[in-house]
Amino acid sequence: MRKPTFIIAEIGQAHDGSLGILHSYIDAVASTGADAIKFQTHIAEAESSKFEPFRVNFSYEDKTRYDYWKRMGFNFEQWVGIKKHCDEVGIEFISSPFSQAAVDLLEKLEVKRYKIGSGEVSNFLMLEKIAKTGKPVILSSGMSSFAELDEAVKFVQSFGNELSVLQCTTSYPTPPKRVGLNVIPQLKERYNIPVGLSEHTGNIYSGIAAVAMGAELLEFHVVFDKRMFGPDATSSLDIDQTKQLVEGVRSVEASLFNPVNKADNSAYTDLKKIFEKSLAINKDLPAGHAITFDDLEAKKPAGYGIAASNFRSIIGKTLNAPLKKYDFLNHENLN
């Protein structure tokens, strides 16, 4: 039997460098029922340079992308407190690394698994460092063709790690026509490993649909309010939407994991007696009258007359006694 969908709510940079806001997100996301809360571990000196351009010109206080990553970073003691808070409220701590140094930091925190962002799938240097930990790896495929993804999957699997792959579209927000739900079964068939969806639509619909199509993991960005500062705000779910999504996913799973045997309707025996109908006549009829289609009505409940499904079997037969309008019609009334 398939396991419940592993639901990852990503905070990413929504904390805007504020440790207090970040801790507020932990409590809020824990209340939604998500399985994990994901951050990003950025060590500016290790991953970036002054030449890195802004993806979106959103910052009013950072002169360069490097400055932004510098402001978004936390020290090791702060990360210890972040993970401790997650443990206390019962939600798994995950953080995507973007450098070798970030992997070292996360290893000290004893993370359970690694999520690889779409831009890092070709970073085999970091993939090898992560793979050597022996921990589960989740690859997001937003920027990868199948050929590129084949290489990354083969590379990680050569180390023997448990591996999952997410369909992803690197577009913020992602319009529905670019979500690529069709890729989910393709990934499953191609790699025969757990697959899922990492999405940035800003709504709950594609996530629920993905689970119905077989997604076993689901990742999305979360923000307190979509009008907040930051590069991912408009493509995120708010806390109420996150609760709705989790509820929707669990509801869909209840349907998927509990197949109905349509050949067995024994559970409806009593209801069938109430809702199914018996044949009756729709006018006063004399003895000797030959029953026609236009003489018949079907009335609740079942069992008080000939079953309505058998009406053709009595067309043309004659009454052996008169019947009043809306009397039930039984075989003993017929010659």
- Does residue 232 carry a pLDDT above 90? no
pLDDT digits (tens, 9 = 90+) for 30-39: 999 999 999 9
Structure tokens at 237: 């779910």
Residue 54 pLDDT: 74
Spatial separation of the C-alpha atoms in residues 292 and 31, rounded to whole Å: 65
At residue 176, φ and ψ (nearest 5 deg) are: -50, -35
Spatial separation of the C-alpha atoms in residues 330 and 319, rounded to whole Å: 10
**pTM more than 0.85:** yes
Residue 52 pLDDT: 80
Domain boundaries, the chain: 6-256, 266-333
Query: Which of 205, 204, 163, 197 lies closest to 180 in space, CA to CA?
Result: 197
Residue 155 pLDDT: 98
Are the beta carbons of 205 and 252 closer than 8 angstroms? Answer: no
Spatial separation of the C-alpha atoms in residues 89 and 30, rounded to whole Å: 7
Query: Which of 101, 110, 164 lies closest to 136 in space, CA to CA?
Result: 164
- Does residue 58 carry a pLDDT above 80? no
Residue 231 pLDDT: 83
Residue 191 pLDDT: 98
pLDDT digits (tens, 9 = 90+) for 69-128: 899 899 999 999 999 999 999 999 999 999 999 999 999 999 999 999 999 999 999 999
- Does residue 61 carry a pLDDT above 90? no
Structure tokens at 43: 């060590």
Buried b (16+ CB within 10 A) or exposed e, 36-75: bbbbbbbbbebbbeeeeeeeeeebeebebbbebbbbbbbe
Residue 49 pLDDT: 84
Across residues 6-12, what is the average pLDDT?
A: 97
- Does residue 48 carry a pLDDT above 90? no
Residue 230 pLDDT: 82
- Does residue 59 carry a pLDDT above 80? no
Structure tokens at 292: 């026609």
- The rounded percent of the chain whose pLDDT value lies above 70 is 99
CATH code for the domain defined by 266-333:
3.90.1210.10
- Does residue 295 carry a pLDDT above 80? yes
CATH code for the domain defined by 6-256:
3.20.20.70
- Does residue 332 carry a pLDDT above 80? yes
Across residues 170-185, what is the average pLDDT?
A: 94
Residue 60 pLDDT: 75
Find all residues with CB under 8 Å of 123, minimum gap 6, and list them. none
Give whole-number Cα distances, 310 to 139, 285, 292, 313, in Å.
60, 20, 13, 6
Q: Which carries the bigger pLDDT value, residue 171 or residue 334? A: 334
Residue 53 pLDDT: 80
pLDDT digits (tens, 9 = 90+) for 244-285: 999 999 999 999 999 999 999 999 999 999 999 999 999 999
Find all residues with CB under 8 Å of 168, minimum gap 6, and list them. 118, 140, 141, 142, 197, 198, 199
Across residues 277-297, what is the average pLDDT?
A: 98
